[in-house]
Amino acid sequence: MANIQTTARRDGDDYIVNGSKTFISGGMGANWFTTAVRTGGEGARGISVLLIPADSSGVARTPLARKQGWWCSDTATIYFEDVRVPATNLIGPENAGFLVIMANFNNERMAMAVGMEAFARVCLEEAVNWARERRTFGKRLADHQVIRHKIAMMKQRINATRPISRCARARSSTVRCSPATSRC
């Protein structure tokens, strides 16, 4: 993250943005891009965050057709060529964008943990229902010992994630981060 190459150079009341971003979720349908850009020196202290209108002159995008993971997401590569962005579209202080991004990532990761535990529980319930209904070799699938062991292992693994999910739910309901100050 701290090694980004997309740049934004201050030019009066605007920034001039050049570079590209790949694996941008929702990139083909987005109207705005919240974009990390290099405004200062190397490392985390030289990163800022700009809100860039997708219809700006110099913005182009292409879909990523072949990818792993979430296939239903309209993931894209976004290209910026001399894109003029008003300085008022800066999110947080200049060169303090890394903290803004990390605060967002923390909340995003917590939300993902909660979602993944919930999805896993739904999948387990579906598997149990299927095993109760499906018949093989003259008996229910659930009556085969190996299937019961697999279901028990699934439940054990899901239950092991519960403390993380509970922590994430508790954190998200009590902690509010301020992107302007990058403090929680």
Running along the chain, 184 residues long, what does each successive block of 10 average in pLDDT?
87 97 91 96 92 98 81 88 98 92 81 88 96 95 95 94 78 52 40
At 134-170, the pLDDT tens digits run: 999 999 999 999 999 999 999 999 999 888 777 776 7
Which residues are CB-contacts of 110 (< 8 A; sequence separation ≥ 6)? 167, 168, 171, 172
In angstroms, how far is the first alpha carbon of the chain from the final one?
A: 20
Structural domains of the chain sorted by starting position, each given as residue range(s) with its CATH number in brackets: 7-93 (2.40.110.10), 98-174 (1.20.140.10)
The pTM assigned to this predicted structure is 0.67
Residue 126 appears among annotated catalytic residues:
no
Catalytic residue, chosen from 42, 81, 94, 108, is 108
Distance of CA 170 to the CA centre of its chain: 20
Task: Determine whether 149 is exposed, middle or buried from the number of CB atoms within 10 Å of its CB (0-12, 13-18, 19+).
Answer: exposed
The whole-angstrom separation of Cα 177 and Cα 167 is 17
Which residues are CB-contacts of 115 (< 8 A; sequence separation ≥ 6)? none
